[in-house]
Amino acid sequence: MIRLRTDFFAESLGMGTSMVVLMPQAASGIGMEGADAPGPGSGGSSADGSGVPVLYLLHGLSDDCTIWERRTSIERYATEKGIAVVMPEVRRSFYSDEAVGEKYWTFIAEELPQIVARTFHVSTARADTFVAGLSMGGFGAFKLALHHPERFAAAASLSGALDTTSFDLSWTGTLGARVWGGEDVAGSADDLLGLLRHADPAALPALFLDCGTEDELVDQNRRFLAAAEEGRVEITSRLRPGAHTWEFWDEGIQDVLDWLPLRG
């Protein structure tokens, strides 16, 4: 893998920000002889015959763009799949255009994919584009899938904070007021359960939900599954023993990569 920490200016944010990008490389190091890792110039699958598949991998509320690398072996897992991984920085934004702050939803949904497509040799075909995340990032992954189903072949949430209408954010200080202006989120662009109930099941990407039964967010995940059933949306899901921990997510992201419909 080629690993890059990229610092750049985001017009939508009006400031500099960062992302970590992993790009497949047509070479194998010691201990990686079995890896099938197409290089940036070796093709890959896309609508125009160029570019490798890409996974946008989103961080949680207390994390940053480096956390997946520091807490899991995502580079090794991605190498084995020959997939690029883009890990952007969104701070504590809940992947939203903040009421008092920056336009992180505009950044993540509109500007970032354009920057990635211009800068890296990745496919822009829907069939080769995926998104996943943990906790707040699980919310972000499903928000992207529900708002832009035409862009993603699959989306996965690990221990997602999925029901914004039920959040108790008192422990976060001013986060609720900063992100949502203290307004009721029900019926808004951040009400994933409401969006799911009214979605066109045939238009949505494949969805994968994973959450621990000892996780404090498990009830939110159960409500998301109930909304999916109500909306007749098919979703691959498992509620398994585990808590809100990196041990759980390190295992989960490997299963997500195995589940992704990667084209040969």
Is residue 264 a part of any domain in this protein?
no
> By mean pLDDT, which of 52-61, 85-94, 168-177, 239-248 is the weakest?
168-177
pLDDT category at 241 given cuts 50, 70, 90 is very high
**Strand arrangement of the beta sheet that strand 84-88 belongs to:** 2-10, 15-23, 84-88, 54-58, 129-134, 154-158, 206-212, 236-240
pLDDT at residue number 28: 66
Measure the CA–CA gap between 154 and 208, rounded to whole angstroms. Answer: 8
CATH number, position 6: 3.40.50.1820
Measure the CA–CA gap between 93 and 135, rounded to whole angstroms. Answer: 13
Is residue 228 a part of any domain in this protein?
yes
Report CA torsion sign: 27, 31, 34, 36.
Answer: negative
pLDDT category at 89 given cuts 50, 70, 90 is very high
Is residue 174 a part of any domain in this protein?
yes
Is residue 121 a part of any domain in this protein?
yes
pLDDT at residue number 31: 72
Residue 181 has pLDDT above 60, yes or no: yes
pLDDT at residue number 174: 84
pLDDT at residue number 149: 98
Average pLDDT, the chain: 92
Is residue 108 a part of any domain in this protein?
yes
pLDDT category at 183 given cuts 50, 70, 90 is confident
With beta carbons less than 8 A apart as the criterion, state whether 90 and 58 touch.
Answer: yes
HSE of 209 in the Cβ direction (CA atoms, 13 Å)? 26
CA torsion, ordered 101, 106, 108, 109, to nearest 10 deg: 160
- Total domain count, the chain: 1
| Mean pLDDT, residues 212-223 | 97
pLDDT tens track for 35-68: 544 543 333 434 444 799 999 999 999 999 999 9
Measure the CA–CA gap between 7 and 5, rounded to whole angstroms. Answer: 7
HSE of 12 in the Cβ direction (CA atoms, 13 Å)? 18
Residue 234 has pLDDT above 70, yes or no: yes
Is residue 91 a part of any domain in this protein?
yes
pLDDT category at 237 given cuts 50, 70, 90 is very high
Is residue 114 a part of any domain in this protein?
yes
pLDDT at residue number 58: 98
With beta carbons less than 8 A apart as the criterion, state whether 128 and 53 touch.
Answer: yes
Burial class (CB in 10 A: 0-12, 13-18, 19+), 26: exposed
| Mean pLDDT, residues 133-156 | 98
Residue 148 one-letter amino acid: H
Is residue 37 a part of any domain in this protein?
yes
pLDDT at residue number 44: 40
Domain residues for 44? Answer: 2-259
